[in-house]
Amino acid sequence: MYPIIVFSVSGLLMLYLGLSVSKKSLLPINLGFLIIGLLSNFIDWNAPGLYFNNMLEVSNTLILVQSVVILAAILVAGLSSKLFEDAIDHPAEYYALMQFAVVGALIMVSFQNLIMLFVGLEILSVALYVLAGSDKRNLRGNEASIKYFLMGAFATGILLFGIAMFYGATGSFDINSGSSVANNLPEGKIFFWIGLIFIFIGLLFKISAAPFHFWTADVYQGSPTIFTAFMATIVKTAVIFALYRLAVYSFSFEYDNWSKFLVIIIGLSMLIGNLTAVYQSNFKRILAYSSISQAGFMLLSLIGLGEQSFGNLGFYTLSYAFATISAFGVFLIVSNDQLVDGRPNENINVFNGLFKRNPDLAVILLISMLSLSGIPLTSGFWSKFFVLNDAATKGYLWILIVGIVMSAVSLYYYFKPIRATFGSTESESITVSSLAKATLYVCGAMTVLLGVAPNLFRGLF
Amino acid sequence: MLTLSLFLIPLIAGLVLLNIKNKSLASSISLVVSFIQIAVFVYAFSVFKDNSALLTFDKPWLSDFAIRFHLGLDGLSLVMVGLTVVLVAIILLAIKNLNYENIPRLLGLILLTEAALVGVFSAKDIFLFYFFFELALVPVYLIANFWGGENSSKITFKMFVYTVFGSLFMLISFVLLYMRGQSADIESIKVTVSLLPNLIKQILFWGLLLAFSIKMPIFPFHTWLPDAYSKSPTPATMLLSGLLSKMGVYGLIRILLPFAPSGVQMYGEIIIILAVVGLVYGSIIAIKQNEIKRLIAYSSFAHMGLMAGAVLTLSVTGLQGAIFQMVAHGFNAVGLFYIAKIIFDKTGSRSLTTLGGMTQSAPVLTVMFMVVLLGSVALPLTNGFVGEFLMLKAVFDFNHVIGIVAGLSVVFGAVYMLRFFQKTMYGPSNDSTINITDIGAKEMMVLVPIVIVVLLTGVFPNLILDISGSFVNSLGVLNK
């Protein structure tokens, strides 16, 4: 609860600081705010309950998940060092918007009332619409922003409509009220079902699960890389936990019906995400399609919906955040070093010979790709194992097989950049700012550490 | 505790070596580590009979899932870990004198492979087993990529995807097993496995079989092998043929036989036929090869086929033969690939058509080569004979026709190996082979241990058969 307050205030402060403080000192200030927010998160440790007239829930497990969100924001901020030094960049605004987005994400993780879900989603989305288009000279960025905005607004509309239906069926916005419909007349149940489907569609759009994924690749490609990393991790984490809350509290008594549809959506996400990624040559598009398939894997926890599922999902999002942020981070550094027509080279060949140019970056990229593809010794293996295990508890054998075959397919595109790093090159070595380097080291080290000892984090749940 | 240190020593040393630039320092570290490893192994071997508590290490790893970090050594594991420890020491000795760039990193990656292999061969938990099974591939993949030639990246990638694809099916099987019994312990799963419904048993059998038969490989999953063995740099090839392929056979014995006994009873014959087809097919192709690394690759493939067939006969002789042959083939394959590398370094050629007459200027190499080769063609009193004889007997007892066909491989094996020997060592020497120098002390340090092992285990096979026998007799799923 406290980080929501901290970031709301610090975001506003950040906007004013942009007027008076030099650009270079904005990043340390931003990091300071984020770390204060992370620490304030633990004030509520062991003080579970409902706050603000049953609007938000606080519990230890939710605090852990919120910490994952804030941690991802800190890592992304760490990567942004030396990035916004052009005259036309406005780091104060970027950092403020990132903090607001985190506020939205935190609300979405812990809402107890559907109105809060809507508010949280809007705070998160509006900030990201702006960030997606923040590179004003880039046509693709503009396209990404407008596409994201139009599609996102449409999806939010659907979500809102669903919430209205839910209210109509239950007479309350409280997420626990869903079960009261169970004994109602069938007439009311129709509205409940419309509400359920629309809420699901709205949120599945945000998490870019197939068949609601069409915006993903363009938006990921067009947005500035640093904000793509932010989007990929924070939005996914926030939305998957929002979905999870709804599935557990509001919709669980209809599990038998909606799980059949959800499992198809999961299968589609895995198939479309992985098979399309194979044909991409732009690294950001590869990661975009990979994120679609990762969304499919995360959703497996909703199929499991058991005692372990929440912790599994928490581990998955943390591991995903480390792997994705380090992948985007390495890519950001390498692509900014090699311009094509004045713009960063986003093709996969940007990694050519990276191992000779900067072995540390190559190793971090290797770890991150291994983690995303789920090879042991990285946290990605355990996260995939956990969620597949979840699905297996409910007897969905076929989705298990689809997931595993698609994991094998994903090796192909995850190894494209790895293979490129071994190639030869004439380019010179790359220098990396020390803060970005430290961030990447942390990501790589944590990926391996959680791969060897998953219980470090998994055991907290 | 001993098992844990066998795993941890190479792991830590490997990580240290990755960060060392100094070549001579790195070589001495790797030497010291391999001696310590051998010493620890010998100690483990000596306490094996009476104090097995020293050999196990059991700590919860993922308490929510009842997954444990459980390592231990029984007869089979002891043989395999011994093979790993000694063979890696030999490979390290061989590598540090070859002219590769960035030797410290290479030695480090080899030690990491050793750690993963010790993990595979001593894991008592299915997920731990899977973990190491996949992990062992990563350093080898990196070795093949860094030190390989032009196409090696593409070829090793094919191998990587192929084997990971197979092991993912093993993961499915393991998850299923785990879901049913809520236990990941190999021993306790063995007990519950017979209660599973028939469909699950079938899935288990095919999933596990696919994983292990790609790893070995068994016909028709061998297509990654010839390219991967012949195009990879020698260190990677040695690891792949000498040790990683053994993970497949080990998996068959450790996992498939106890976990899917009904499947093995039902489909064993088909798989044995496939294995023998691979055996004969690999041998025939090997006869036609002119590239020496490819020749050894196909011969390796043929040997693996016989091992798989012998294991699936579910007989004591078959199993004993396969376990013995794993050790024998490990040493022979590493020896042959090393000799191929020596020949290439001295003459610049790997083609049988351009080689010949090397015995004139390299008599010591000829002798060493001859011994390893005789081990490989299964001459009595060499290590190849014991394993091959036991395995052929098992296959023959299982089905006479299959046994006779499998017996052909002995003839073919002699043909391609002696042809290999004749075309490199004998015949007229030419420009590239006339002026070569004989091997010196550095090469002897590698080849002499191999030769000793070839002869010693050939004359005293019970050194190995006694240890593995305790395991085989307690397996409990064998016929009769």
B168 touches chain A (CB under 8 A): yes
Residue of B135, B164, B176 lying closest to A411 (CB–CB): B164
Residue B294 CA to residue B336 CA, distance in Å, equals: 12
Put simply, the answer to whether B138 touches A458 (Cβ < 8 Å) is no
Distance (Å) from the alpha carbon of B115 to chain A's nearest alpha carbon = 13
Q: What average pLDDT does range A338-342 have in this prediction?
A: 80
Residue (of A104, A433, A80) closest to A227 by Cα position: A80
B47 touches chain A (CB under 8 A): no
Partner B, chain A 397-416, Cβ-Cβ below 8 Å: 397, 400-401, 404-405, 407-408, 411-412, 415
pLDDT level of residue B480 (50, 70, 90 thresholds)? low
Q: What average pLDDT does range A382-390 have in this prediction?
A: 88
- pLDDT of A292 reads 94
Q: What average pLDDT does range B421-430 have in this prediction?
A: 85
Q: What average pLDDT does range A63-87 have in this prediction?
A: 89
- Assess whether pLDDT exceeds 90 at residue B6: no
Neighboring chain A residues of B165 at a CB cutoff of 8 Å: 405, 408, 411
Q: What average pLDDT does range A330-350 have in this prediction?
A: 86
pTM of the model: 0.89
Residue B252 CA to residue B242 CA, distance in Å, equals: 17
B175 touches chain A (CB under 8 A): yes
Which residues are CB-neighbours of A410 under 8 A, at least 6 positions away?
A274, A277, A290, A293, A372, A373, A374
Q: What average pLDDT does range B190-203 have in this prediction?
A: 83
Partner B, chain A 421-440, Cβ-Cβ below 8 Å: 422-423
Residue A406's closest chain B neighbor by CA? Answer: B165
- Give the amino acid at A120: G
Q: What is the interface pTM, i.e. ipTM, of the complex? A: 0.83
What range defines the domain where residue A156 resides?
2-458
Residue B468 CA to residue B79 CA, distance in Å, equals: 7
Which residues are CB-neighbours of B137 under 8 A, at least 6 positions away?
B160, B163, B164, B244
- pLDDT of B190 reads 83
Put simply, the answer to whether A459 touches B63 (Cβ < 8 Å) is yes
pLDDT level of residue A30 (50, 70, 90 thresholds)? very high
Neighboring chain A residues of B65 at a CB cutoff of 8 Å: 308, 389
Partner B, chain A 67-86, Cβ-Cβ below 8 Å: none
Give the rounded distance of the alpha carbon of B195 from its chain centre: 33
**What is the Cα Rg of chain B in Å?**
21
Q: Please check whether residue B387 is in contact with residue B325, taking contact to mean a CB–CB distance below 8 angstroms.
A: yes
Selected residue with higher pLDDT from B192 and A235: A235
Give the rounded distance of the alpha carbon of B402 from its chain centre: 25
Tokens of B29: 């570290």
- Assess whether pLDDT exceeds 70 at residue B204: yes
Residue of A389, A423, A455 lying closest to B175 (CB–CB): A389
Give the rounded distance of the alpha carbon of A322 from its chain centre: 11
- pLDDT of B97 reads 78
Q: What average pLDDT does range B293-312 have in this prediction?
A: 90
Residue (of A88, A89, A159) closest to A122 by Cα position: A159
Q: Please check whether residue A219 is in contact with residue A285, taking contact to mean a CB–CB distance below 8 angstroms.
A: no
Decide the pairing of beta strands A49-51 and A56-58: antiparallel
Partner A, chain B 318-377, Cβ-Cβ below 8 Å: none
Residue A228 CA to residue B323 CA, distance in Å, equals: 53
Partner A, chain B 51-70, Cβ-Cβ below 8 Å: 60-65
A377 touches chain B (CB under 8 A): yes
Which residue out of A312, A369, A372, A377 would a mutagenesis test of the B interface target, given it has the greatest number of B Cβ atoms within 10 Å?
A377
Residue A322 CA to residue A316 CA, distance in Å, equals: 10
Residue of B60, B64, B130 lying closest to A458 (CB–CB): B64
- pLDDT of B249 reads 92
The 3-state DSSP class for residue B387 equals helix
pLDDT level of residue A183 (50, 70, 90 thresholds)? low
Neighboring chain A residues of B108 at a CB cutoff of 8 Å: none
Q: Please check whether residue A373 is in contact with residue A410, taking contact to mean a CB–CB distance below 8 angstroms.
A: yes
- Give pLDDT tens digits for B391-408: 999 999 988 999 999 988
The tally of domains found in chain A comes to 1
Put simply, the answer to whether B131 touches A376 (Cβ < 8 Å) is yes
- Assess whether pLDDT exceeds 80 at residue B148: no
A389 touches chain B (CB under 8 A): yes
pLDDT level of residue A12 (50, 70, 90 thresholds)? very high
- Give pLDDT tens digits for A264-274: 999 999 999 99
Partner B, chain A 296-335, Cβ-Cβ below 8 Å: 308, 311
The 3-state DSSP class for residue A169 equals helix
Partner A, chain B 108-147, Cβ-Cβ below 8 Å: 127, 130-132, 134-135, 138, 145-146
- pLDDT of B51 reads 65
Distance (Å) from the alpha carbon of B169 to chain A's nearest alpha carbon = 8
Distances (CA, A) of A280 to A144, A273, A347, B473: 18, 11, 9, 54
- Assess whether pLDDT exceeds 80 at residue B238: yes
- Give pLDDT tens digits for B126-142: 989 998 998 888 898 88
Residue B307 CA to residue B311 CA, distance in Å, equals: 6
Give the relative orientation of helices A114-132 and A91-110 as an angle to the nearest 10 degrees.
150
Q: What percent of chain B has pLDDT over 90?
A: 26
Q: What percent of chain B has pLDDT over 70?
A: 99
Max CA distance (Å), chain A: 73
DSSP letter string, A327-395: HHHHHHHHHHHSEETTEE--BGGGGTTHHHH-HHHHHHHHHHHHHHHT-TTSHHHHHHHHHHHHHHHTT
Query: What is the overall mean pLDDT for chain A?
Result: 89
Query: Cα-flanking dihedrals φ and ψ of residue B184, to 5°?
Result: -110, 10
Put simply, the answer to whether B138 touches A393 (Cβ < 8 Å) is no
- pLDDT of A182 reads 63
Selected residue with higher pLDDT from B152 and B465: B465
**What is the Cα Rg of chain A in Å?**
21
pLDDT level of residue B154 (50, 70, 90 thresholds)? confident
The sign of the dihedral angle between the CA atoms of B214, B219, B223, B224 is positive
Neighboring chain B residues of A415 at a CB cutoff of 8 Å: 157, 160-161
Put simply, the answer to whether A419 touches B165 (Cβ < 8 Å) is no
Put simply, the answer to whether A408 touches B135 (Cβ < 8 Å) is no
Taking chain B, what is the end-to-end CA distance rounded to the nearest angstrom? 36
- pLDDT of A372 reads 93
- Assess whether pLDDT exceeds 90 at residue A119: yes
Q: What average pLDDT does range A220-234 have in this prediction?
A: 92
How does DSSP classify residue A184?
A: S
How does DSSP classify residue A233?
A: I
B291 bridge partner residues: B351
How does DSSP classify residue B52?
A: G
pLDDT level of residue B26 (50, 70, 90 thresholds)? confident
Residue B151 CA to residue B139 CA, distance in Å, equals: 18
Give the rounded distance of the alpha carbon of B161 from its chain centre: 19
- pLDDT of A204 reads 93
- Assess whether pLDDT exceeds 90 at residue A67: yes
Residue of B63, B157, B179 lying closest to A419 (CB–CB): B157
Which residues are CB-neighbours of A222 under 8 A, at least 6 positions away?
A132, A138, A140, A141, A142, A143, A144, A145, A147
Selected residue with higher pLDDT from B357 and A448: A448
- Assess whether pLDDT exceeds 70 at residue A64: yes
Q: What average pLDDT does range A301-324 have in this prediction?
A: 91
Residue B90 CA to residue B84 CA, distance in Å, equals: 10
Residue of A377, A388, A408 lying closest to B165 (CB–CB): A408
Place of tokens 């700012």: A433
Q: Would you tell me how many other CB atoms lie within 10 Å of the CB of residue A59?
A: 16
Query: Cα-flanking dihedrals φ and ψ of residue B415, to 5°?
Result: -65, -55
Residue (of B132, B106, B175) closest to A452 by Cα position: B132
- pLDDT of A149 reads 93
Q: Is the peptide bond before B258 cis (omega within 30 degrees of 0)?
A: no
